[in-house]
Structure 1
């Protein structure tokens, strides 16, 4: 994707689990904070139609970065690109593996995040992907 036409939000926070390799409760607390920031930012920007879907995507992408990367810092960026809201989460490119869509079993507690992102992107005429330590999702607004 080319540069953003308008940057709506950029939030960076430290990640303790990057140093230890297991999720720290404080890191997961940041997920709720950036989800609420996303809702406020989009509502105040007149993008209320996409707020629910974008908040879920933000939650899943940030959780993925916190849980699955070795990074000590995560950055969320929301921006406008043409008719799309672009959500990007950068974790420094130190992921243990690239995010991928999984099809979790009925008894599994996790493993559905990227599946949800894929489904929301598709339903909103968008896409998702990864590049250089950044996982992104574009949603038509």
Structure 2
């Protein structure tokens, strides 16, 4: 079962959005509890090639529903479809490929920016990268989709690899009509 925790990090300092080459994203140091949502859940550790347990697979639509609810609560209705698709892809990657036992999910709204991050722990897990896949491949397009959707939103994305923990993050500017 997921657990909510108090905010522990801020938006990545110094990030730059597409089209804003000179100005870096500088979040203010003031973070309210209402600005962030964190959850973490356990998954079964598996060796590569082992099937994903049903319990773990069900985490993906659950996190998508949580993201949708949070976005609607924050008045970010225009961002629901792209962000929930990205959350689905990132949580799926963490569950299927991390080889770890825990997945974390964070959404934070601050200064007109939406920060989304999905992390996982795993012994020797490989850093997620965008891969070329042929037209017949059933897998391998998730990060291509994430990259495309983030760029279409004039956002930024990246991977933080800190030893046993890997986090894929996305940063989106909110739209005028939202909030």
Normalised to the residue count of structure 1, the TM-score between the two structures is: 0.90
SS in structure 1 opposite 2:121? coil
2:86 and 2:124 mapped to 1: Cα distance?
18
Segments of 5+ residues of structure 1 without an aligned counterpart are: none
SS in structure 2 opposite 1:11? strand
Q: Determine whether 1:9 maps to 2:42.
A: no
Q: Determine whether 1:35 maps to 2:35.
A: no
Q: Determine whether 1:135 maps to 2:168.
A: yes
Structure 1 moving runs of 4+ over 6 Å: none
**Matches of residues 59-74 of structure 1 in structure 2 within 5 Å?**
59-74=88-103
Residues 39 and 106 of structure 2 are in contact (CA less than 8 Å); yes or no, is this contact kept in structure 1? yes
1:97 and 1:20 mapped to 2: Cα distance?
13
C-alpha spacing 1:66/1:56, structure 2 compared with 1 (3 Å): same
Aligned positions, number: 140
Equivalent residue, structure 1, for 2:82? 53
C-alpha spacing 1:93/1:81, structure 2 compared with 1 (3 Å): farther
2:133 and 2:111 mapped to 1: Cα distance?
34
Deviation at residue 10 of structure 1 after TM alignment? 1.3
**Matches of residues 49-128 of structure 1 in structure 2 within 5 Å?**
49-92=78-121, 94=123, 96-128=125-157
Structure 1, residues 79-113: CA drift from partner, whole Å, max 9, x if none?
02433211101112646211111122111111110
2:62 and 2:124 mapped to 1: Cα distance?
22
Rg larger for: 2
SS in structure 1 opposite 2:65? helix
1:108 and 1:32 mapped to 2: Cα distance?
23
Residues 101 and 122 of structure 2 are in contact (CA less than 8 Å); yes or no, is this contact kept in structure 1? no
Segments of 5+ residues of structure 2 without an aligned counterpart are: 1-11, 14-26, 175-179
